[in-house]
Amino acid sequence: MDEPDQEPTEKPTEDREEAEREGKWMARSWVGIAVVSILGLLLLVIGMMQATGLVDVFAPVADSETGQWAAFGVLALVVLAIAGWSWRAVSRSNT
Asked whether the predicted pLDDT for residue 5 surpasses 80, the reply is no
By the 8 A CB rule, do 57 and 46 touch? yes
By the 8 A CB rule, do 93 and 30 touch? no
pTM: 0.65
Note the Cα 32 to chain centre separation in Å.
6
Largest CA distance in the chain: 66
Segment 44-95, tens digit of pLDDT: 999 999 889 888 888 888 888 888 889 899 999 998 998 888 777 666 655 5
Q: What does the domain layout of the chain look like in residue ranges?
A: 36-94
End-to-end CA distance of the chain: 32
- How many angstroms separate the CA atoms of 40 and 59, rounded? 21
